[in-house]
Structure 1
Amino acid sequence: MKNVLLILYLFLNAVLGAQVRQTPDSRHLQAVPAGKILFLPSFKNLKDLKENDFISRYVFTNTSDLSFVAFFDRPLTKYMAQLDPEAEKDSLFKTGNYQFTVWIDHREIYRSNLLPGAPQRKVQDTAIILNRPLINNINGQGSWSESFWNRLMSNGGENILTDGPHYLYMEIRPYVKLKNQVKTGPLMARGGLALQVSRNPVIDPGKITLNTPGPYDGFPVSSEPFDSIKIKRLKGLIREGIFKRINSIIVINKGKLQVEEYFNGEDRNTLHDPRW
């Protein structure tokens, strides 16, 4: 009887152990079962994540960030090895990747077989948690996951996510490309998020105040008249995230400073990276 109990214990431990995250940064999330995709209002490192950080509904605006964490029972490479058992492990990284599929309001909007190469091979070989940003308005680096979201929005998401309630649902599967044919594997993780979309704000120029620019040394301020309503409307659109990655509005009229507005915590002494 003891031997039976021992075998049963070892069996359950092997099965359930695959469901538990045992990396140093993620042991505090071990209660989350494999196969889940959970969403966050902003990106956090695994070691800083708490289970109450995850959200089931979200007010989605033009300035919203969005992130996800996917929990797998085994790394991507092991899934791909099942799809192509004869392949050498080194070649799997070159022939497949994750497949992401997104539905909005129960309608498939976008499916993407990520090109081989990103995420890195080490991630594909070892990761049982995928913690990635989809939108990062301030510190976004254009990573593969942010690029995926941008493609989603360009391929139907922008038109469907109108103001009002919506439901976003995402699945992750493995895929490999065999003889120019894509072979897709079983579901790795899935999850959904209820969205209340508010992306068309009303801009009231009467409630927006323009800064009064101060002179630079040898660079006076202009007293010429200008259309302040247009500048106020532009300022409002930038603040509401309609126009992104704009850090300043500077208008020089006849060699004199007329408008000087800054955003995202910058000011006239901030060094600006023109590569964006």
Structure 2
Amino acid sequence: MKITSTFAFVLISCFYSGQNRDIVNADKIENQIQKKNINKVIFLNKSISIENLKESDILKSMVFQESQNLDLRVFTDNSLVNYLHQLDPSLTADELLQKGNYQFSFYVDGKMIYQENLNKGAGIPDDKKFKTTFRIPLVSSNNEDSWGRYLWMRFYFGHDGIDALQSGNHILKIEIRPYLKTSVLKTGNIIASGEINLNVPQKSSSETQIALQPIQPHSGWKVSDDKFSPEKIRLLNKKIAEERFKEITGIIVIKNDKLLLEEYFNKSGRDSLQDTRSVGKSFASALAGIAIQDGYLKGEHQSLKDFYNLKSFKNYSSKKDSVTIKSLLTMSSGFDGNDDNSDSPGNEENMYPTDNWVQFTLDLPMTEDKIGENWSYFTAGVVVVGDIINQSVPKGLENYADKKLFQPLGISKYKWQFTPQQKPSLAGGLRMSALDFAKFGQLYKNNGIWNGKAILDKNWVHKSFSNYFTDNKDFEGYGYLFWRKVYQVGNKNFEAYQCSGNGGNKIIVFKDIPFVMVITAKAYNKPYAHSQADKMVQEYLLPALLGNE
């Protein structure tokens, strides 16, 4: 039989497209519930194995409570790795799972609220190769730990889900697609979707919780009589009372060196020593600057070899000799340490169990990165900064910090976290009151002046509040252990530099408007902690202060 060239091309195309469809043999679909609900996301109010799942367990509606179970069961007609293979047939199964995963889209009442491409670590690799059904606990009454729980937290608390799901009836819809990130982002078609009607009860709050808290005497600050929008602050207090902003303990606003707003929540108060975690890193920057101006350090361009016999540590290379104090302050030292990567040798979680944090850091290998160019969050490097200061100043770091920084600022009640060598850890954990943290922020706002006395050189403040990574589009910038952040209100941008710590703790110093803010919180290790603090500033505090209703 003679086959035309066109017909042959179609046959070959079909043959190869069929070959390219699957890279592994996915599990057979034999369960009757799965067959009936293929390509669907179903909602449940308890954990049920697929073997025990019945149609009557599937929810079409429910009363939504933040403390009660909300489970998903996803049914697809293929495994994730086969969907990813369709997006790029040239990659192996393992390569596909290194570059891709599921994309989740959350809709409320037809409006997309949040979309996330799961990181590669979410889900078990073998499950993603072979499984065609999986369970996701979004809300768990026993706080079941899973990537699904954190996905829900990011949607609900971090990206406006809680505002979209205010009291009343709402339709929550979830769509799942495969995504692959190579040189470009590729997203496949919907592989599963589903929706549920949620009845959200009214949250309660009292007038006492919502009302502005009057500033009590003896704060140590002059009190401002400048005007602001009390209604915006009442709305903010209401959201905190209703736990729509969670685990907030304090809000301080300083305007023109005077106390304008002082609010406390969740059994916290003026005398509470707030655990602000990595906010303490910025104190390392200040103490390094003071030690330089006092002549105990020659400058931030001094290198590690001036302080350590680097050849006595593991993984020595001549590159370590070139690591400077500045590169540690800007988190661009080239050490193989990245707290955002659990596989990084220098991740801070690997440091804490050791008996010598400085040795841990100096033992690390170097990366191929050029020193001073590539930023990665590296707590262990700040520990080394603290050790350099400790060995350089008279009577050690603890005494020096008290004499040169805390006493001049009138800070007498504070607690350090200590290293295994019982030296103050500049990695974080410094505790003091919210009002005293505000003094530290105001010191920078005043270009290093406090009560007419220069504590910090104004040039050091300028260097600290400069962005050394203008080419990095992944984040807004970083100075000398200070984060750069731009807040937007209306069509105006407001640049700030801030101390930032786990839980959503902030000391925010605005560059061009006369405000210093402190937010203290205990949302430790919660994925929404920083985004909710940013939202408080951008949608409530700044509009209240600037008169934007």
The TM-score with structure 1 as length reference comes to 0.62
Give the equivalent residue in structure 2 for 1:145.
148
**Identity over the aligned pairs, expressed in percent?**
32
Give the equivalent residue in structure 2 for 1:184.
187
Give the equivalent residue in structure 1 for 2:67.
63
Structural mapping, 1:1-276, within 5 Å: 21-22=29-30, 27-141=31-145, 143-153=146-156, 154-179=158-183, 181-201=184-204
Tell me the secondary structure at the aligned position of residue 91 of structure 1. helix
Q: Indicate if the aligned counterparts of 2:102 and 2:118 stay in contact, CA closer than 8 A.
A: yes
Q: Indicate if the aligned counterparts of 1:76 and 1:174 stay in contact, CA closer than 8 A.
A: yes
Structure 2 Cα separation of the partners of residues 19 and 191 of structure 1 = 22
Change (3 A) 1:201 1:190: same
Kindly state the Cα deviation for residue 123 of structure 1 after the two structures are TM-superposed. 1.0
Greater relative contact order structure (CA < 8 Å, 6+ sep): 1
Query: Which of structure 1's runs of 4+ aligned residues deviate more than 4 A?
Result: none
Structure 1 Cα separation of the partners of residues 150 and 111 of structure 2 = 21
Change (3 A) 1:41 1:199: farther
Q: Indicate if the aligned counterparts of 1:57 and 1:195 stay in contact, CA closer than 8 A.
A: yes
Kindly state the Cα deviation for residue 201 of structure 1 after the two structures are TM-superposed. 4.4
User: Over the residues paired in the alignment, what is the CA RMSD in angstroms?
Assistant: 2.8
Structure 1 Cα separation of the partners of residues 37 and 48 of structure 2 = 19
For structure 1, list consecutive stretches of 5 or more residues without a partner in the other structure.
1-17, 204-236, 245-274
Kindly state the Cα deviation for residue 130 of structure 1 after the two structures are TM-superposed. 1.6
Give the aligned residue type for 1:40: L
When you count strand as a share of all residues, which structure comes out higher?
1
Change (3 A) 1:111 1:243: closer
When you count helix as a share of all residues, which structure comes out higher?
2
Structure 2 Cα separation of the partners of residues 54 and 184 of structure 1 = 29
Give the equivalent residue in structure 1 for 2:213.
none
Change (3 A) 1:195 1:120: same
Change (3 A) 1:61 1:174: same
Structure 1 Cα separation of the partners of residues 143 and 88 of structure 2 = 38
Kindly state the Cα deviation for residue 243 of structure 1 after the two structures are TM-superposed. 8.2
Structure 2 Cα separation of the partners of residues 199 and 174 of structure 1 = 36
Change (3 A) 1:50 1:108: same
Give the equivalent residue in structure 2 for 1:251.
none
Kindly state the Cα deviation for residue 199 of structure 1 after the two structures are TM-superposed. 4.9
Structure 1 Cα separation of the partners of residues 135 and 180 of structure 2 = 22
Q: Indicate if the aligned counterparts of 1:96 and 1:174 stay in contact, CA closer than 8 A.
A: yes
Kindly state the Cα deviation for residue 43 of structure 1 after the two structures are TM-superposed. 2.1
Change (3 A) 1:202 1:53: farther
Tell me the secondary structure at the aligned position of residue 122 of structure 2. coil
Q: Deviations over 1:105-142 (max 9, x none)?
A: 1100000000012201111101111211100022422x
Q: Indicate if the aligned counterparts of 1:20 and 1:30 stay in contact, CA closer than 8 A.
A: no
Tell me the secondary structure at the aligned position of residue 48 of structure 1. coil
Structure 2 Cα separation of the partners of residues 119 and 199 of structure 1 = 35
Tell me the secondary structure at the aligned position of residue 141 of structure 2. coil
Give the equivalent residue in structure 2 for 1:271.
none
Q: Indicate if the aligned counterparts of 1:20 and 1:34 stay in contact, CA closer than 8 A.
A: no
Which piece of structure 1 moves more, 59-68 or 112-121? 59-68
Q: Indicate if the aligned counterparts of 1:20 and 1:33 stay in contact, CA closer than 8 A.
A: no
Kindly state the Cα deviation for residue 64 of structure 1 after the two structures are TM-superposed. 2.1
For structure 2, list consecutive stretches of 5 or more residues without a partner in the other structure.
1-25, 207-240, 248-524, 527-549
Q: Indicate if the aligned counterparts of 1:62 and 1:199 stay in contact, CA closer than 8 A.
A: no
Give the aligned residue type for 1:21: I
Q: Deviations over 1:58-94 (max 9, x none)?
A: 1112332100111100000000001011112221110
Structure 2 Cα separation of the partners of residues 110 and 20 of structure 1 = 32
Give the aligned residue type for 1:186: N
Give the aligned residue type for 1:66: L
Kindly state the Cα deviation for residue 19 of structure 1 after the two structures are TM-superposed. 11
Change (3 A) 1:202 1:42: farther
Q: Deviations over 1:177-199 (max 9, x none)?
A: 011x2100111000100011015
Structure 1 Cα separation of the partners of residues 127 and 80 of structure 2 = 8
Q: Deviations over 1:130-176 (max 9, x none)?
A: 211100022422x1111100000110101111110111000000000
